[in-house]
Amino acid sequence: MIGMVLRRLAVLPIVLLAIYTLTLALAWAAPGNPVDRPEGRRPPQAVIDAMERQYNLDSFPRFYVSYLESASGVRWVRDRLAGPVDPQRPIFDLGPSLQYEDRRVNEILADSLPVSMTLGASAILIATLIGVGAGVIGALRPGSFADGASLALAMVGISLPSFVTGAVLILIFGVWLGWLPVGGWGTIGQLVLPAVTLSLPFAAYIARLTRMGMIEQLSSDHVRAARAKGLPEHTVVLRHALGNALLPVVSYLGPATAYAMTGSFVVERVFRVPGLGEHFVNSVLNKDLFLLIGAALTFSVMLVLFNLAVDVLYRWIDPRITGDRA
Amino acid sequence: MPRVLAPIVLLIVAVVASVWSDRPLPMADLVIVERAEVNTVDPHQMSWNQDLRVGRALFEGLLSEDTASPDQRLVPAVAREMPEVSPDGLVYTFRLRPGLKWSDGSPLTARDFVYAWRRGMLPETAADYSNMFMPIRGAEAFVARRAAALAAFVADSSLADRSARAEELWREAIDDFSARVGVRAIDDLTLRVELESPLPHFLSLVAFPVMFPLCEASVSRHESLDARTGRRVWSNAWARPGVLVSNGPYRLTLWRFKRDMRLERNENYRDPRLPLSPTLSILNIADANSMVLAFRTGAVDWTTDVAVPYRAEMLDLQRQFWNEQAALVGELRAQGLSNARIAAALPRDPRNTVQAYPSFGTSFLNLNCSPLLPNGRPNPLADARVRRALALSLNKREITEQIRRIGEPVAGSLVPPGSLAGYTPPVGLAFDPDRARQELAEAGFPGGAGFPPIEFLFRRDGGQDLLAQAIARQWERQLGVRVLLLQVESRVFGERLKAAKYMVSTASWFGDYGDATTFLDISLSNSNNNDRKYQNPRYDELLSRAARLADPAERAASLAEAEQLLVETDLPLIPLFHFVQVYLFDPSRFEGLSEHPRQIHTLARLRRKEPAP
């Protein structure tokens, strides 16, 4: 197990290097000059040239190497060996934001990542509760009204975009009933609506996974044996069937959590949640190279780490599993 | 079985811990909503309205705009009185108020201005408005020498000790600045500024945030030399909440990215009795719907912008309410009250919470004047008769009334009329389709025959598609020309304008300071904002003549003549309408917005009103 964890962590830098190279190449090729502003008074050309030189935007190879050095911590180590460095300087320096002149990418990520992670974790939590509940109900009576209703709900959850479900929830719970705040961040109340909105597509998927797993488990030999022993139905369902039926759900939770934590752009906008999602979109539109690469790398790290965490959990939940699932 | 619950337990722990660690703050005394995030609190990097507003709350210059006076006066701020000006108009002597302190309690002296202005001029600071320093004697040459020294430093790869050489260059630059640039601290309380040539609106520049002071003791702790480029660099750590030392009525206590900013009363401000709202919260809401919802349901006092889809409908409702109150409105208007004051005097009504304020900006069309198009074919728009025909055939009223629908005044000139005391812009060309057809025929295209299709470039956002379609239809109908609409993403738009790869494009310009040149200098043949590639030596001469004239009336006449050339004869641009800014606030609960024609609002004057009994 420890060997697997170490192996996977060793691969991480290679994955990141590949993602960095690809992202930078694509972003570099996109039209538009990152230091030029699209409207308003233009700074003199000499100023633009100086800024391009400062950020190495005038040369792809120099940018490539220079960013790699500072983001990987190589530059920090080198400077540290040469003499004392500013204690506030981060080891892994992801560079300045070209759009938000006062901000470093490290600060932007440090501000917005915890917000997105909280929102994403809450959404997955809600999705799991709704999804597993609906899936079990559906599986116990396949073809019943409850099964149909949970299927319909799942379809709605998957097909409706979150700017629609979000707006409907705001209208019902925020404006008509006045139970919950319509946006913002910082209180439990402000977390509820965005988390529910974000959870719906995940809940729908989890419900289908649970239902499938449960139907399979309920017709399996060990459940039949448990029933034959005369165990009460709830013990059969909860102890013997559900545990195994949930394994696919657990393996889905890894990537789902990573997606929920980083892919909540629309929900964050609708509910004014100051998270990471917006930077993914805006950094591309603004051609804010440093922020764009920083966000892409963060997402990659999260995806790899959550998959790893799920694999570790997976083995712990079901010790029969061995081998390396990449 | 319990093991399967482990992921859920982990998630619960994570959520609870995160929510617990992020406690909400108590409500501020005043809540403002901005659609765009404040980009910077560094006065040298500011260029957006929301940045400048915060800049004026955190910092204060030698002079400030008196936003309460109707005649756009400048009043002494850090300066004790208006400066003493030498008879030739070249030397300004500012005397500072004694005993001024920065927010950290340290004394504010004339040297803080010298430090800040030097930083603003340095080419490595790349200040958007570094041009504002150029009228100062020796500034342009200082910047050129420093830029050349840095360029030579970068090019020289043979240097053994780059840090030592960078240090040496930096000391040379400081000495150069003290010896040759006309900014000097005579003593702690006296600042002397010498100009290259007389500049009547120099004091208006002094009141602009880029010329505000910086606390040298605090900011200089965060500067260092970059050994690779030789540049002086400032880490942004000096401009962080809790670190930023300022001299305005407020200090920065919190700034959470894309979330909110909190300002609190600066206890060391020069006027401790100023009745400002003690805490001010500035929320950032980008989404159009969320913004309106936040105003309607939450405790937001002032929303500084309403998204395009809401503006027209909300203003229609407001007009409907004003029509219902016609008797009262008429009576108040007869008393000479402005719209803002009438709004405040009307009974409370949710429809009356939207207010359109005139803005110091103009929407216009760029016409490419280069002789050849990017594809090498001759450009029909190079002929001024064609450009006049395009201008004369536009029914701008139809555009403002049917497309924009928010009551923006039709524009004949670039400078909004009434926005500058002592300057009357020309009236421009009126809608005259017959004369338009005649001009087009004289240019060799009777009835539009033989005229190549006009490529009309516009951006994706801001409702520009409707505007472009309406204009294209008018031209097709009036002149018989064909128009190809070309919608592009905003970065691409900017790039193509700069390279003049277009025929016609949408455009807008907002003035910065209280002088007509803030609008007119973009059409100088050597301006890097001359996207139209307009070249007229007469225009350049009129502007440089104005710069040499000391008499304000003669100077204004020369500028007005130049603008007349622009909007009545040459038409490198067609003014469409002057912008209004749409605000949301309840005039019965909030007060203090200024009616300054250039929309300079002093945050320290904004207040929540006591609810009427």
| Residue-wise pLDDT tens digits, A227-274 | 888 888 777 777 778 878 888 888 888 888 888 887 777 888 888 888
- Alpha-carbon dihedral A306, A307, A310, A315, rounded to 10 degrees: -140
Distance of residue B242 Cα from the nearest chain A Cα, in angstroms:
15
Residue B71 burial class via C-beta count within 10 angstroms: exposed 0-12, middle 13-18, buried 19 and up? exposed
Q: Can you tell me the distance from the alpha carbon of A123 to that of A261, in angstroms, rounded to the nearest whole number?
A: 9
pLDDT digits (tens, 9 = 90+) for B491-528: 788 888 888 899 999 999 998 888 899 999 999 998 88
Long-range (24+ apart) CB contacts under 8 A made by B274-278 are B274/B249, B274/B604, B275/B607, B276/B249, B276/B250, B276/B603, B276/B604, B276/B605, B276/B607, B277/B28, B277/B29, B277/B30, B277/B606, B277/B607, B277/B608, B278/B29
What predicted TM-score, i.e. pTM, was given to this entire model?
0.83
Q: Residue A326 has what pLDDT?
A: 40
> pLDDT tens digit string along B159-175?
888 889 999 999 999 99
Over 90: is that where the pLDDT of B251 sits?
yes
Give B611's pLDDT tier (boundaries 50, 70, 90).
Answer: low
The domain made up of A1-326 has a fold known as: MetI-like fold (1.10.3720)
Residue A321 pLDDT > 90: no
CB interface of A with B, residues 149-168, below 8 Å: 167
Give the chain B residue nearest A242 (alpha carbons): B1
Taking residues B593-601, report their average pLDDT: 85
Among the listed residues B96, B130, B90, the one whose alpha carbon sits nearest the alpha carbon of residue B111: B96
CA distance A245 to chain B (A): 10
- Nearest CB to A287: which of B154, B239, B491? B491
* DSSP-derived 3-state class of residue B375: coil
Q: What's the mean pLDDT in B68-87? A: 90
Mean pLDDT check: name the lowest of A149-153, B141-145, B212-216, B365-369.
Answer: A149-153
The per-residue pLDDT of chain B, averaged, comes to 90
pLDDT of residue B210: 93
Q: Provide the pLDDT for residue B23.
A: 66
Which residues face B410 on adjacent strands?
B577
- A contacts of B283 (beta carbons < 8 Å): 184, 272
- DSSP-derived secondary structure letter, B62: S
If pLDDT is split at 50, 70 and 90, which confidence band does A325 have? very low
CA angle B356-B362-B365, nearest 5°?
135
Residues 251-290 of B with CB under 8 A from A: 256-259, 283-287, 289-290
Residue A31 and residue A35: Cα distance in Å, rounded? Answer: 12
- A118, A174, A287 member nearest B18 (Cβ): A118
- Interchain contact B157–A (C-beta under 8 A): no
Q: Is A189 in CB contact (< 8 Å) with chain B?
A: no
Q: Which residues of B touch A181 (CB under 8 A)?
A: 297-298
B231, B258, B289: residue with CB nearest A274: B258
For residues A1 and B382, the model is more confident at: B382
B609 dihedral zone (left: phi>0; alpha: psi -120 to 50; beta): beta
Instruction: Return d(Cα B124, Cα A171) in angstroms, integer.
Output: 50
- Per-residue confidence band for A283, with pLDDT thresholds at 50, 70 and 90: confident
Contacts of B284 in chain A (CB under 8 A): 274
Give CA–CA dist B201/B509, Å, rounded.
19
Across A231-240, B88-97, B460-469, least confident range:
A231-240
